[in-house]
């Protein structure tokens, strides 16, 4: 690894492969263990030189501590740390390595060599640790950047033979400086993580607001019918979609969809589906043809691992006739006024899986008092704490007891029943509902 120094010379920090675990926790703990093994001199009659050195050490630690109170970056603090180390310990070379939060590897943050020194490799290995811990040759110091038991990096300094040798007091000073710096690094990282999370939350909130505007604010008013739709996201943004769209010929589309996956990606694909659907909704084409068009359009905008289950309904309010295409979606449920149930099964694969493949369609008549219910799998797959799903049979059983009720009332009751089933267990998927009921004749 080659780094550019302030002196415009270059040096490398090399971590040698001294075995399968050449750089393990030993190098990070060695100096701390050595420090704990030593007993600080307690005799008040210290020689003047030792006393002077102790006062100087306290001054340096105090200066670094004051730096913590300033709003400076970790990079600036590391340079200041190295300034103080070279000012007081006068090593020939030094390096600060910080542990990456992503890879957990040690990465050089600051590298420095004394004026006039050659830019040889700085090598960290178990051999080095043995020299520090066992031989105590006085030419090398290394201390972990440790705070509250967490090691966030390492500071290393050395001196060439004949220049100077280090003492235990130097190690105590280096370790103290390392601990102070580690506190700042941890605090800076926590603040950065909090700021990043706050920014992400703001972006998700904005994405959710935009997405909600793509969904109908309220269903259209159609004499003789009651329409209801809702979307409850399990995360900040949803991969589910529902819509109502009146055509110029008086017929009305109702649609529901579930994009594969969760998060921002599916939400963007949902927006693409909405845009395509609205672009073609005014054309008087059969639902099977519309579904095929949407499948081809979505396939051009996504990869092979993305698809959308889709259920499209076209209602003729004048007659109650309904034409529908189910593209790999959950079976729709038709609740008749006599309490009987009819499942509306699939006509083909989800959108974008096999673009160009034609879809089929089916028809039925929505009689007075009949209710059509469409939903996404977040409803049927809602889990209880023991992992039991709400399930399709239970949904049918629930709907069987809703004859004569308004869609909004049914929706409220169903969402409440899902909450009772979950018993506080987080919902793993979005819950979206679309219902159309033909009101009974007066």
User: What is the C-alpha to C-alpha distance for residues 347 and 311, in angstroms, rounded to an integer?
Assistant: 10
Same domain, 226 and 357: yes
pLDDT along the chain (442 residues), means of 10: 36 46 37 41 52 59 62 79 84 86 82 72 52 52 82 85 74 82 80 80 70 82 95 75 92 93 76 90 91 94 86 97 97 96 95 92 97 96 94 96 96 95 89 96 62
- Do 126 and 224 share a domain, yes or no? no
Strands 10-15 and 122-124: parallel
- Classify residue 199: in a domain, yes or no: no
Domain tally for the chain?
A: 2
Whether 198 is in a domain gets the answer: no
Instruction: Decide if 373 is inside a domain.
Output: yes
Alpha-carbon torsion angle 70, 71, 72, 77, nearest 10: 40
In a domain, 246, yes or no: yes
Domain identity same for 270 and 186: no
Task: Look at residue 203 and tell me if it is in a domain.
Answer: no
Same-domain check for residues 10 and 138:
yes
Whether 188 and 232 map to the same domain: the answer is no
- State whether 175 and 227 are in the same domain: no
pLDDT computed for residue 309 by the predictor? 95
Structure tokens at 238: 């949803």
How confident is the model at residue 91, as a pLDDT? 87
pLDDT at position 240: 87
Same-domain status, 161 and 298:
no
Residue 204 and residue 299 in contact, taking contact as beta carbons nearer than 8 Å: no
Q: Where among 192, 225, 242 does a domain terminate?
A: 192
Domain boundaries, position 149: 2-38+49-192
- Are residues 399 and 358 located together in one domain of the fold? yes
Q: What pLDDT was estimated at residue 5?
A: 36
Query: Is residue 201 assigned to a domain?
Result: no
Strands laid side by side in the 431-438 sheet: 225-232, 431-438, 371-375, 332-335, 341-344
Domain final residue pick, 192, 224, 245: 192
- For the CA atoms of 196, 199, 204, 210, the dihedral, rounded to the nearest 10 degrees, stands at -160
The answer to whether residues 98 and 109 touch, using CB atoms and an 8 Å cutoff, is: yes
Evaluate whether residue 178 is within a structural domain: yes
- What CATH number is associated with residue 419? 3.60.40.10
CATH number, domain at 26?
3.30.450.40
Q: Does any domain span residue 321?
A: yes
pLDDT at 267: 78
Residue 59: what pLDDT? Answer: 65
327 in the same domain as 265: yes
Closest CA to 66 of 50, 54, 84: 84
């Amino acid at each position: 690894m080659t780094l550019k120094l302030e002196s415009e010379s270059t040096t490398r920090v090399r971590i040698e492969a001294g075995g399968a675990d050449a750089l393990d926790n030993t190098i990070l703990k060695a100096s701390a263990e050595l420090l704990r093994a030593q007993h600080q001199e307690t005799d008040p009659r210290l020689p003047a030189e030792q006393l002077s050195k102790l006062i100087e050490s306290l001054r340096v630690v105090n200066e670094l501590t004051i730096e913590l109170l300033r709003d400076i970056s970790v990079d600036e603090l590391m340079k200041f740390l190295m300034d103080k180390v070279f000012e007081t310990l006068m090593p020939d070379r030094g390096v600060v390595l910080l542990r990456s939060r992503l890879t957990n590897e040690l990465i050089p943050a600051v590298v420095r060599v004394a004026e006039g020194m050659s830019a040889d490799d700085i090598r960290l290995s178990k051999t080095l640790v043995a020299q520090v811990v066992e031989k105590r040759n006085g030419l090398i110091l290394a201390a972990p950047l440790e705070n509250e038991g967490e090691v966030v990096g390492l500071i290393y300094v050395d001196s060439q033979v004949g220049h100077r040798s280090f003492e235990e007091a130097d190690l105590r000073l280096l370790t103290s400086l390392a601990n102070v710096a580690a506190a700042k690094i941890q605090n800076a990282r926590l603040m950065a993580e909090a700021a990043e999370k706050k920014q992400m939350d703001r972006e998700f909130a904005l994405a959710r607001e935009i997405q909600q505007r793509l969904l109908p604010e309220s269903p259209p008013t159609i004499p003789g019918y009651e329409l209801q739709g809702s979307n409850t996201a399990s995360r900040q943004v949803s991969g589910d979609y529902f819509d109502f769209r009146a055509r110029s010929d008086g017929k009305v589309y109702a649609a529901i969809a579930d994009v594969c996956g969760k998060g921002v990606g599916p939400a963007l694909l949902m927006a693409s589906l909405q845009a395509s659907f609205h672009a073609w909704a005014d054309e008087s084409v059969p639902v099977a043809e519309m579904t095929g068009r949407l499948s081809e359009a979505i396939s051009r905008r996504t990869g092979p691992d993305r698809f959308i289950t889709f259920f499209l309904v076209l209602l003729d309010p004048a007659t109650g006739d309904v034409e529908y295409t189910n593209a790999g979606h959950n079976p729709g449920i038709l609740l008749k006024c006599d309490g009987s149930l009819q499942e509306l099964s699939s006509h083909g694969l989800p959108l974008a899986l096999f673009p160009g493949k034609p879809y089929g369609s089916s028809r039925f008549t929505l009689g007075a008092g009949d209710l059509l219910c469409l939903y996404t799998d977040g409803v049927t797959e809602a889990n209880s704490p023991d992992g039991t799903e709400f399930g399709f049979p239970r949904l049918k059983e629930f709907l069987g007891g809703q004859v004569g009720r308004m869609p909004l009332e049914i929706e409220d009751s169903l969402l409440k029943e899902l909450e009772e089933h979950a018993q506080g267990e987080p919902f793993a998927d979005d819950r979206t509902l679309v219902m159309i009921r033909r009101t009974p004749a007066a």
